[in-house]
Amino acid sequence: MSDAPIVVGINRTQDASISVIAGPPAVYSLQKERITRRKHHWGRLGDLANLYVPALPCLREPVDLVVECYSSDDEMERLPAYRDEIAQSLAFRDGVRVVTVSHHFAHLYSAFFPSPFAQAAVMVVDAQGSRVKDFTEPFPSTDAAPDLLEVASFYTCERGRVECVGKQLWHGDWADPAGLGCFYYLLTRTIFAGEGSEGKVMGLAPFGRPHALGLPDLRVDEYRVHIPDEWMKIFADRTRFGFFQDGTGSFEDCANLAAEGQRAFEAALLRVAGWLYKETGAANLCFAGGTALNCSANGRLLRESRFDDVFIPPSPHDGGTALGSALYGMIDCLGDPSDFRWVNDFLGPDPDTQAVEDALREASPDLIVDRPADLVDEIVRLLDSGRVVGLHQGRSESGPRALGNRSIIADARHPGMQRFINSQVKGREWFRPLAPLVLAEAAATIFDVDRPAPFMQYAADVRTTYRQALPAITHVDGTARLQTVEEKNTPFLYALLNAFAARTGCPVLLNTSLNGRGDPLVETPQDSLACLQQTSMHALAMPPYLVRKRVEPPIPSR
């Protein structure tokens, strides 16, 4: 790594993360939650020295530049202390050099510059980003109050030029919220307690009726989205919609609210995207911010917007802003155009064979460690028999979707598999959908798709003739959040799917993230072994090893 400039990007806010770039062959990105085992863990002083440097050996090399990204939380007030920590924890080639980048600008760099496009419009939508006074980007306004917050930003981009064409700002008073991100956040908090339940709302929505509550569309004025009073009154009625929090209200009401909210969100998003298309005339769209994790809306953007193609990074949420920060530093500060393209999301630390060996040697006596002559064939045999297998291999995924390196896989044909995994493995709500892995060459036959979907970001219809055959991955509305699998990016997964198809005639497997109840995606071999022991998974593959339980859990009934 010493021959190339080294830039470190650090996200200091929610979903805290770090990224290191030293040319395309050496790009790393790691979320704090993977180390601490606390979902959505916020950035704090001490993260660099105590967590990131031990986890990423490349941080022990002399670096050229550090780029920090903050949002509108209180961490920005600790800037001098963070600068001291950087100076004490890292070695610099040419004197300490640290800069900041504002929140939506980091999102932009995480989306457009790793995309396949030479030109594109960019849409960044989340609950709140940086304050006007902290912007590090040109902004088409001269009189915006310094304490206003960005909630949506819109750009036209080509390599070498970025222009902001609109930015919705908000005063920060939750009694009068604005923007799509604030809307979905309030919708989520009305139905579920705590942070990070947006995916639950998306999964619940198809069980409801999207016009049952008679709520209006959101008000859209070009790129600005406003929330009508009728919605605010509903959000205040926590008793009616408390089914998942304290048992008050009903499942039906919650499902109907989720359906109404998803309908209003999608309609507004499509209108905003339509404005951006007219404003820029761009053929392609990049989309980032926490709302870009909404797979149902993403599918509609792909199918119904006027853009020819849509790129959404594997980490569109705040966790991806560390990589965006590092790219900003490489491209804008050091003048290196950067050849990095986000073709796969395996950006975690380099695999450590010795760490795997040590973890297996110290594994519980309740586990049996084997090294099959044909690991792929043995996994396929287990899957075909109805067993659930964890898969830990290579570098971990940087984003929230498990894409085959930290995954739980199972037979998508099994009618009892979704309920078994949700209840006995993941420990979560019964209605949560599970995703399919599909061989890229078979995807269009089984799903209504016309392009690769390697990052599991779009919901697409399961073709009617296959829905009954694939009950474990077909959601109640007939859709699935698929991942297409190609040999060049995921060779082991590709071999596994091919072998399963040869044995069963089915080129599809179920895939969900390798973690237990309430936990983030696993990172280390020890994390994966603990997940195996603490859940009803039947086996864990850590190539070339296969780990099974001496006392096997029940196999889900068909």
Indicate the SS3 state at residue 297. helix
Task: Give pTM, 2 decimals.
Answer: 0.96
Q: Give the closest residue to 544 by CA, choosing from 381, 373, 330, 359.
A: 373
Rounded to an integer, what distance in angstroms lies between the CA atom of residue 34 and that of residue 338? 27
Tokens linked to 466: 């296959």
Q: What is the pLDDT of residue 335?
A: 94
Q: Do 115-312 and 353-549 agree at the fold level?
A: no
Task: Identify the bridge partners of residue 311 per DSSP, sorted by sequence position.
Answer: 286
Q: What is the pLDDT of residue 24?
A: 67
Q: 458, 302 in Cβ contact below 8 A? A: yes
pLDDT by residue for the chain (558 residues), tens digit each? 457 899 999 999 999 999 999 876 799 999 999 999 999 999 999 999 999 999 999 999 999 999 999 999 999 999 999 999 999 999 999 999 999 999 999 999 999 999 999 999 999 999 999 999 999 998 887 679 999 999 999 999 999 899 999 999 999 999 999 999 999 999 999 999 988 899 999 999 999 999 999 999 999 999 999 999 999 999 999 889 999 999 989 999 999 999 999 999 999 999 999 999 999 999 999 999 999 999 999 999 999 999 999 999 999 999 999 999 999 999 999 999 899 999 999 999 999 999 999 999 999 999 999 999 999 999 999 999 999 999 999 999 999 999 999 999 999 999 999 999 999 999 999 999 999 999 999 999 999 999 999 999 999 999 999 999 999 999 999 999 999 999 999 999 999 999 999 999 999 999 999 999 999 999 999 999 999 999 999 999 999 999 999 999 999 988
The token pair at 164 is 């902001």
Domain 353-549 belongs to what topology?
A: DHBP synthase (3.90.870)
Q: How far is CA 5 from the centre of its chain?
A: 28
d(Cα 514, Cα 260) in Å, to the nearest integer? 31
Q: Please state which of the four CATH numbers 3.10.590, 3.30.420, 2.30.29, 2.40.50 is assigned to the domain occupying 7-104+319-333.
A: 3.30.420
The CATH superfamily label for domain 115-312 reads ATPase, nucleotide binding domain (3.30.420.40)
- Residue 240 phi, psi dihedral angles, 5° rounding: -65, -30
Ordered by start, the domain boundaries in the chain are 7-104+319-333, 115-312, 353-549
Nearest to 265 by CA among 317, 214, 306, 301: 301
- Determine contact, residues 494/486, Cβ cutoff 8 Å: yes
Q: List the one residue out of 60, 53, 51, 49 whose CA is nearest residue 91.
A: 60
DSSP letters along 431-478, please?
T---EEEEEGGGHHHHBS-SS--TTS--EEEBPHHHHTT-TTT--TTS
- Residue-level pLDDT at 156: 98
Alpha carbon distance 384, 503 (integer Å) = 8
In this structure, the dihedral spanned by the alpha carbons of residues 439, 441, 444 and 450, taken in order and rounded to 10 degrees, is 110
CA-to-CA distance for 119 and 274, rounded, in angstroms? 17
pLDDT at 397: 98
**Which residues have a Cβ under 8 Å from the Cβ of 351 and sit 6 or more positions away?**
393, 394, 395
- pLDDT the model gives residue 25: 76
* The predicted structure's pLDDT at residue 46: 96
